[in-house]
Structure 1
Amino acid sequence: MKANPRAWFSALFLLLVAAPLAAQTPQVAGAQPAPGAPPNAAQTASPGAAPATANSRPSAAQTAAPGPEQAASGAPSGTTPATAPSAEQTTQPAQAARAPQSHARPPANESAPAPDLPAGTIEVLVLRASGAPIAGQEVRLGIMFQRISEGESRSERLARTDAEGRVRFEGLQGGSNYSYRVTLKSGPAEYASMPFGLGGSGHRVKLHVFPVTRNIKEALVGMRGFLYIEPRDDIFQFQVLYRVFNIGAVTWVPDDVVLELPAEFKAFSAERGMTDIRFEQVEGKGARLVGTFPPGQHDVGFRFQLPKERVETAFFGVGLLPHVAEMRVIAEASTNMTLDVEGFEPTRSDTNPRGQRVLVTRKLMGVEGEPLQRIAVT
């Protein structure tokens, strides 16, 4: 029996849109904002707000549709992980998935100093979502050394987990010049810790491996997108940002998911963050989404340019990723400039954090559960 896609699209709508949004514009890990682009979470979050991480999970209680000042700046206010919806709150396509979806909150990864371990030791524990250990799993320890006078060097160590799912790396160097990162592969998926250093004790990392699908219809994945437009003398500069929510217990690895761009796009740029999630340019077509999306929240984005013709009206269409629940378009604008996005809410005028006039509009996924597929901007 195949699950009704409208039912669980509606569940995603309730989670991502109808409930209050604690986070608005995603911050792409490792990315530097383009000139004039909206500030990221690190620049605008209120003091003391918890940063969003690859493992943070949004709750349905976190969000209201954003206020004018948030929409203009596109700034997230930070998120607090919370329990995913229960079986009564959401209908999940369990029958459609290759692996069963769990209604319980997926277990979180851990990475922290371990005083019970000797200095220079990293212990890794690899578990299934159920908590069962995975024996014989190859684990890679990436090692990076950085010193101004000597530059940067990288090396790695490989080892396999024992019957209890554990593996140890010993005799490692501490200090600020060394950083470490644990990664492992499971089919097409890659799971990883955030980089960390070693102090006066050891360090313990716990990674969970989930069932994997290449078909987004077999995972509880929804998205919120942002398109920021900056007109310049002879070009339009675009910044595209997506916040991807996986609220199930199945990892999604995209299979040839391409976001179409206008044929004349150029100057494509997509920085890599701390994971394998990123966009790659598809020459003459657009941007391909690649990487591993385990349960949690993930940010990814890219930039591109379009030629600016000397005409009064410019029109262009941009494709969207699948399962988009909300899309916002924000354009820097002169006093006589207008913005019209087909099918979106009426455009309103606001100012960005730098005091510039911006035009803002958005569209929400319909309550019938139909995801957004494409935007046309005039």
Structure 2
Amino acid sequence: MSAIRRKRLGIVGLALTVATAAISLPHVATAAGGDKPDAGASDAGAGDAGASDAGKAAGPLPEGHPGVGELPPGHPSVGEGAEADPHDHGANPHGANPHGEARRGNSGFFEPPPDTAVEDQALPPGTMVFTIKDAEDRPIPNATAIIGILKSSVAQGDKRERREVTTDAEGSARLDGLAVGAGTSYRVTTQRGLGTYATQPFALSDKAGKRVVLHAYEATDDVNNALVGKQAFVFVSLREGVLRVEHLFNVFNIGKVAWVPGKGAAQVNLPEGYEAFRIPDGMTDVRFVDEAGKGPWLSGTIAPGRHEASFSYQIPLEGKDRQTFRVELPPRVGEVRIFSEANKTMGLQVAGFPEAQRQTGRDGRKVMVTMRQAMQGERGIRALDVTITGLPVPSITRWIALLVALSAAGLAAAYTIRQRAEGAVPDEAKDDLIEAREALLGEFVALEKAHKKGDIGPKTYGRLKAALLDALARIEARLDEVKAARAEMRRRERGEARRPRPEARGEGGSA
């Protein structure tokens, strides 16, 4: 069996395993048969989905997840799962298929044909012939398509154009005289019912034209009418003052009908007080959309095949040695794998999951790992209660140290005021205030750097910046008081110097 064949079988088996657990259809497991992969994808429930399986189950990471050489610090090795690498696009000459990989295994389930964009020497340069087809690879006549054109240049920037084209009775259309070269990219998009389908962007070469094939499927907004399942990854890492949480979802559709979730139909309810929500840039139309106060929800057309979507956010630390947060998942999540950064003290606990095991990532860092699949009849894992233990709780953090410095500056200012009333302003008071001001300016620099790196969310950044500005204004006001006190002291000294001494007046009078 070829490597490409084995990889595709691995992807099919993974999809069937996840869909079986999420949809809870007994005949799905039966039809999967011997094509089921071994990398942690057993039928075991929560009780026997051991951590040894979780350790080697990191293979089928979602597309869009960092490459093996770019995994987050401490992320586990992909290990044995590499043979079933979902990033490998096999013989598809167009590369990544936005509607998922074609299933070539003997699973007995629908295997979506691939969308393609291949050069045809029979076509002249600058020519594109595209065909819209259905799930059975039959042409769809009189289909409306939008040709998106993006022209990029250093001198003029990006320029976008749209052309609407209708296919003929054979489901095809031809465009001639198009620009060639890497500076211009094209994308074919069409709608069928509720669903929107598109090719990946492609360019035309100066050697030959291209034939493009795009498939459009029947669609539903009711998840119960689609064979859809999800696999979720969660990675928790410690940043300064926050827990950074990354979610990555594999979404599998093993049927012929696309699923178009309505607003909120595939909602993820995030922990209260989450901040710094971020969605990575990408060309995929399947993505999460954040709704303020409600959390992200999955949007786009889940066509037959495999899709990926991810996001990240931060949770402020509570200042305790352990912290629990809850995440409510969208429907049809058949498998969850959770990774946590680990040091000598940190640990990971997830309610209803096996005990987390300490693993070593390829970069040599430690990570805690646990996983489980939905049990038969459970119809998906709906919530995660994650506890991170052994969090560092320093006696004095940098912000407490800053408050101490500000308190010292305030005491110095108060002492300055008292000394002014007594006619003396020590130089130490002014030096303390200047030192506190320099420390605040240094904190401003550190705060800006942390904000640009994404280590601090916009809300935390705003609060800290406002506090620092207020503290700086107070210190500047105290410095002005010190200057005024010193000026007053010098004025008094000059006045006393000009005033005649009482002894001198007495001597003059007796003479």
Q: Structure 1 length normalisation: TM-score?
A: 0.80
The yes-or-no answer on 1:221 pairing with 2:239 is no
Q: Write the distance in 2 (CA, Å) between the matches of 1:273 and 1:85.
A: 31
- For residue 160 of structure 2, give the secondary structure of its aligned residue in structure 1: strand
How do 1:174-213 and structure 2 match up within 5 A? 174-199=180-205, 200-213=207-220
- For residue 26 of structure 1, give the secondary structure of its aligned residue in structure 2: coil
Query: What does residue 377 of structure 1 align with?
Result: 386
How far 1:298 sits from its partner (Å)?
Answer: 0.7
How do 1:171-320 and structure 2 match up within 5 A? 171-199=177-205, 200-255=207-262, 256=264, 257-320=266-329
Query: What does residue 338 of structure 1 align with?
Result: 347
Q: Structure 2: which 5+ residue stretches go unaligned?
A: 1-22, 44-55, 90-95, 388-511
Task: Name the stretch that deviates more: 220-229 or 367-376.
Answer: 367-376
Residues 287, 277 of structure 1: CA spacing in aligned structure 2 closer, same or farther, 3 A cutoff? same
How far 1:29 sits from its partner (Å)?
Answer: 7.9
The amino acid across from 2:180 in the alignment is G
* CA deviation profile, 1:265-308 (whole Å, cap 9, x unmatched): 11111124223111011211211100111111111100111101
Query: What does residue 99 of structure 1 align with?
Result: none
- For residue 330 of structure 2, give the secondary structure of its aligned residue in structure 1: strand
Residues 242, 40 of structure 1: CA spacing in aligned structure 2 closer, same or farther, 3 A cutoff? farther
Q: Write the distance in 1 (CA, Å) between the matches of 2:149 and 2:77.
A: 29
The amino acid across from 1:376 in the alignment is D
Match of 1:105 among 98, 101, 111: 111
Query: What does residue 125 of structure 2 align with?
Result: 119
Match of 1:54 among 89, 93, 98: 98
Q: Structure 2 length normalisation: TM-score?
A: 0.60
Residues 198, 240 of structure 1: CA spacing in aligned structure 2 closer, same or farther, 3 A cutoff? same
The amino acid across from 1:141 in the alignment is I
How far 1:180 sits from its partner (Å)?
Answer: 1.0
Residues 40, 123 of structure 1: CA spacing in aligned structure 2 closer, same or farther, 3 A cutoff? farther
Q: Write the distance in 2 (CA, Å) between the matches of 1:360 and 1:9.
A: 31
Contact 1:125 1:166 in 2 (8 A): yes
Match of 1:7 among 19, 25, 29: 25
Contact 2:76 2:361 in 1 (8 A): no
Residues 315, 23 of structure 1: CA spacing in aligned structure 2 closer, same or farther, 3 A cutoff? same
Residues 328, 176 of structure 1: CA spacing in aligned structure 2 closer, same or farther, 3 A cutoff? same
The amino acid across from 1:83 in the alignment is G
Q: Write the distance in 2 (CA, Å) between the matches of 1:30 and 1:154.
A: 29
Query: What does residue 25 of structure 1 align with?
Result: 61
The amino acid across from 2:63 in the alignment is Q
Q: Structure 1: which 5+ residue stretches go unaligned?
A: 59-80, 87-102
Q: Write the distance in 2 (CA, Å) between the matches of 1:216 and 1:83.
A: 25
* CA deviation profile, 1:137-162 (whole Å, cap 9, x unmatched): 11111111122233222112111111
The yes-or-no answer on 1:85 pairing with 2:103 is no
How far 1:39 sits from its partner (Å)?
Answer: 8.8
Match of 2:171 among 145, 165, 170: 165
* CA deviation profile, 1:201-241 (whole Å, cap 9, x unmatched): 11111111111011111111111110000111201111100
Contact 1:121 1:171 in 2 (8 A): yes
Aligned residues: 333
The amino acid across from 1:11 in the alignment is A
Residues 354, 40 of structure 1: CA spacing in aligned structure 2 closer, same or farther, 3 A cutoff? closer
* CA deviation profile, 1:48-97 (whole Å, cap 9, x unmatched): 97247434448xxxxxxxxxxxxxxxxxxxxxx423622xxxxxxxxxxx
How far 1:108 sits from its partner (Å)?
Answer: 2.5
Greater helix proportion: 2
How far 1:349 sits from its partner (Å)?
Answer: 0.4
* CA deviation profile, 1:154-176 (whole Å, cap 9, x unmatched): 11211111111111122101111
Q: Write the distance in 2 (CA, Å) between the matches of 1:260 and 1:227.
A: 14
Residues 310, 265 of structure 1: CA spacing in aligned structure 2 closer, same or farther, 3 A cutoff? same
- For residue 11 of structure 1, give the secondary structure of its aligned residue in structure 2: helix
- For residue 362 of structure 1, give the secondary structure of its aligned residue in structure 2: strand
Residues 37, 303 of structure 1: CA spacing in aligned structure 2 closer, same or farther, 3 A cutoff? farther
Query: What does residue 328 of structure 1 align with?
Result: 337
Match of 2:161 among 131, 155, 165: 155
Contact 1:226 1:240 in 2 (8 A): yes
Query: What does residue 143 of structure 1 align with?
Result: 149
Q: Write the distance in 2 (CA, Å) between the matches of 1:84 and 1:253.
A: 27
Q: Write the distance in 2 (CA, Å) between the matches of 1:30 and 1:196.
A: 23
Residues 24, 107 of structure 1: CA spacing in aligned structure 2 closer, same or farther, 3 A cutoff? closer
Q: Write the distance in 1 (CA, Å) between the matches of 2:362 and 2:374.
A: 28
Task: Name the stretch that deviates more: 188-197 or 125-134.
Answer: 125-134
How far 1:18 sits from its partner (Å)?
Answer: 3.0
Greater strand proportion: 1
Contact 2:237 2:243 in 1 (8 A): yes
The amino acid across from 1:206 in the alignment is V
Q: Write the distance in 2 (CA, Å) between the matches of 1:328 and 1:22.
A: 8
Residues 177, 38 of structure 1: CA spacing in aligned structure 2 closer, same or farther, 3 A cutoff? farther
Query: What does residue 128 of structure 1 align with?
Result: 134
- For residue 88 of structure 2, give the secondary structure of its aligned residue in structure 1: coil
Q: Write the distance in 2 (CA, Å) between the matches of 1:21 and 1:370.
A: 21
Contact 1:252 1:293 in 2 (8 A): yes
The amino acid across from 1:217 in the alignment is N
Residues 21, 137 of structure 1: CA spacing in aligned structure 2 closer, same or farther, 3 A cutoff? farther
Instruction: Decide which structure has the larger Cα Rg and report it.
Output: 2
Q: Write the distance in 1 (CA, Å) between the matches of 2:326 and 2:237.
A: 16
Contact 1:268 1:302 in 2 (8 A): yes
Contact 1:259 1:286 in 2 (8 A): yes
Query: What does residue 465 of structure 2 align with?
Result: none
